[in-house]
Chain A
Amino acid sequence: MKNEKQPRFLSLPGIGDLALSGVRPLIGISLGLLAGAVLIAISGVNPFTAYVAMLQGALGSPQAIANVLVRASPLLLGGVGVALGIKAGLWNVGIEGYMYAGAIGATWVGIAALPVSPLVHITLAILAAGVVAVIWGVAPAYLRAYRGVNEVISTIMMNYVAIFLVSYLVHEPQPMAEPGSFFPMSLQLAPTARLPILLRGSSLHPGFIIGLAACILFYLILRFTPFGFRTRMLGVNPVGSRYAGVNVKRQILFVLLIGALAGGVAGAVEVMGLKGRLYMDFVAGVGYESVAVALLAAGNPLGVIASALFFAALKAGGATMSIQTGVGGPMTIIIEALCVIFVIGVGYSERKRLTRADKAVKGDEEVKHNVA
């Protein structure tokens, strides 16, 4: 491992990894926030005032913190779905679509007045969300695993199809649509299918607990199970893992479908916890932000917790900043993207180091698996 630019101690095993994995994101995020400050200044607002407003909006009161946790819920679930793919060397950027698909499933079961307890109804609705999202993920996952179709393009195509499908379902005269409403939307979910509110005076629902649990679960799976080992091996060296007897195609299929499942639950949580019904464009880019969340965490499920909370704080604080200082709302999306760009730009990404490590086997096959 030769790299003249790095101090020697960073190439020591263990210490170097820890220092790099912790320091680089922090440097990158700082630079991203700095670049955001420059943009805010250009738009004619004092960046300090803006960032103070942002901080207040994110952490200034229990309600603000509750708001951050509400916004973190879909990012945790979506982010961990993308992260699993990253560990396997796959770009599962279809979270937006899985969220729409999952929301369809959850709404379908949720609007029915079932004579069951809330726990059963909620479970059924989340299950339905998972099933619909996984079905939604089958086409791109199968095409990637068995036909070598680039998953970036296919999942994004599926995102657009999902958006139009939801638009169709919430318009009259579809059975799911609310009759006579001005803005197209679905019927309201039955009270038994709503996630409970945890903090009075806020919209805090247990979605973030589901998200945190998913992150920890995915971490344990990746770290301690044969499935997780195969996933990581696939990401490090697809050719090697095939020689080691891994059914690479099936592994790719499962990794992508599990990502779809996580995305579907994210959509369900958004509908059942926050919105109460299905709208057109109800996700509004959260799926793409989940990709940024997972990238900031370099695909580490525990890192997703930190980056999802960070992005949620940016979004929640950004709304306050927008109201108080007049900086446009989309500024937070730019800052998110800048943070990720700086983090990956600051140093070689995790993936790059891995690529260097196994460059001995670099050949046509490997290049194909890396990107195709």
Chain B
Amino acid sequence: MSPDMIIDWLQATLRWGAPLILVAMGEVFAERSGIINVGIEGIMLTGALAGIAVSFFTGNVFLASIGTMLLGALLGLGVAYLTVSRRTNQVVTGLMVNLAALGGTNLLFALLSESRHERVATFPLLFPASFSEIPVIGPILFRQPVSTWFALILPFFAAYFLYRTDWGLNVRAVGDNPKAAATAGLPVIKLKYEAVILSGIFAALGGAALTLSEVGYFASGGMTAGRGFVVLAAVVVGGWDPVRVALACLVFGAADAAQLRMQAMGSTIPYQFLQMLPYVITLIALAGLVGRTRAPKTWGAPYDPADI
């Protein structure tokens, strides 16, 4: 492997890891509040299409991000209503959101057929192109779109909000012991809603980052390809800590980047085995690290205010 290839791989690692990080940062808060939003795969997929559609019609990436986040908030609200207020099973709810999103995006994409495979306005580079002339770190860091930079900085803000603000403390309290939190006067239901809506917003934004950071088009048939579930794994592997979860996302991004590089290089390994790589690594990481991290105490359990 030449240094150039390693630089190229690291650059792609950040680019493919960034959407995962965005999705994961919302999910961390939802899970810390006790709600596993399994629907992030579907919301991400919806965001991927919404980002492309708004960008196609307005030509404005900023509007596309805002529109996508609003849609994500709406879907997050739906998931929150079902899992928090109706106390439905979180796995069932999420899986059905994913199924509906798969059908919905296929249907809508067929209607928006004129934008099919047509490249739309994508996220611009954050730094002037001349920065990428800097050896080594230039191409790795500065040939990255705004979305990647946002994803790289976000985990530190997320950690700040989770550990250093009242709101973060309250969300953690609600996930660990909702009854005590309610007794202490915290609005448990409201906090859970906020955390789940946040996960919807960032899941959708992550989807938009996937389509608007590089490829610039949407592909029918579930183009997120299980990345939402990879994020669910990353949250567990990273122990519900924003920075460590982001690192886990980067590892999975690296696997994605590696398989794409190896395919492009014409590796002798059949490309299907390369495509399996991110999923296999996720499985191995989950198997190796699960149980060493502490889940929020009411992780995945419904909360009934009437239960004393």
Q: Which residues of A contact B (CB under 8 A)?
A: 2, 43, 91, 93, 139-140, 143, 147-150, 152-154, 156-161, 164-165, 167-168, 171, 285, 288-289, 291-292, 295, 328-334, 336-338, 340-341, 344-345, 348-349, 351-352, 355-356, 359, 364, 367-368, 370-372
* Stretch of B163-171, B211-219, B289-297 with 4 or more beta carbons under 8 angstroms from chain A: B289-297
Asked if A344 and B104 sit within 8 Å, CB to CB, the answer is: no
User: Which of A164, A331, A337 has a CB less than 8 Å from the CB of B96?
Assistant: A337
CB-based A-B contact count at 8 angstroms? 163
91-126 of chain B: CB within 8 A of chain A: 91-93, 95-100, 102-104, 106-107, 110-111
A–B Cβ pairs within 8 angstroms, 19 of them: A152-B232, A153-B282, A154-B287, A157-B229, A157-B279, A168-B272, A288-B102, A292-B96, A295-B96, A337-B96, A341-B96, A349-B89, A349-B92, A356-B304, A356-B307, A367-B301, A368-B295, A371-B91, A371-B301
B119 to chain A, nearest CB (A): 24
Asked if B282 and A157 sit within 8 Å, CB to CB, the answer is: yes
* Stretch of B52-60, B62-70, B80-88, B144-152 with 4 or more beta carbons under 8 angstroms from chain A: B80-88
Asked if B287 and A149 sit within 8 Å, CB to CB, the answer is: yes
Q: A157-B230, A334-B104 are in contact. List 20 more A-B contacts (CB 8 A).
A: A2-B306, A43-B111, A143-B283, A150-B236, A154-B283, A157-B229, A160-B225, A164-B272, A164-B275, A288-B99, A295-B96, A328-B111, A330-B103, A333-B100, A344-B92, A348-B87, A355-B302, A367-B297, A371-B36, A371-B299
> Which residues of A have CB within 8 Å of B297?
364, 367
A231 CA to B104 CA in the complex, in Å?
36
Asked if A333 and B225 sit within 8 Å, CB to CB, the answer is: no
Asked if B272 and A157 sit within 8 Å, CB to CB, the answer is: no
> Which residues of A have CB within 8 Å of B102?
285, 288, 330, 333
Q: A295-B92, A364-B297 are in contact. Are A331 and B229 (CB under 8 A)?
A: no
Asked if A340 and B103 sit within 8 Å, CB to CB, the answer is: no
A338 to chain B, nearest CB (A): 6
> Which residues of A have CB within 8 Å of B295?
368, 372
**Does B6 lie at the interface of the complex (its beta carbon under 8 Å from any beta carbon of A)?**
no
Asked if A328 and B110 sit within 8 Å, CB to CB, the answer is: yes
A345 CA to B304 CA in the complex, in Å?
15
> Which residues of A have CB within 8 Å of B88?
344-345, 349, 352
Asked if A168 and B273 sit within 8 Å, CB to CB, the answer is: yes
Q: A93-B95, A164-B273, A292-B96 are in contact. Are A139 and B283 (CB under 8 A)?
A: yes
The chain B residue with its CB closest to the CB of A156 is B229
Against A, the Cβ 8 Å flags (1 = close, 0 = not) of B20-40 are 000000000000000010100
Q: A157-B229, A157-B283 are in contact. Are A340 and B291 (CB under 8 A)?
A: no
> Which residues of A have CB within 8 Å of B107?
43, 328-331, 334
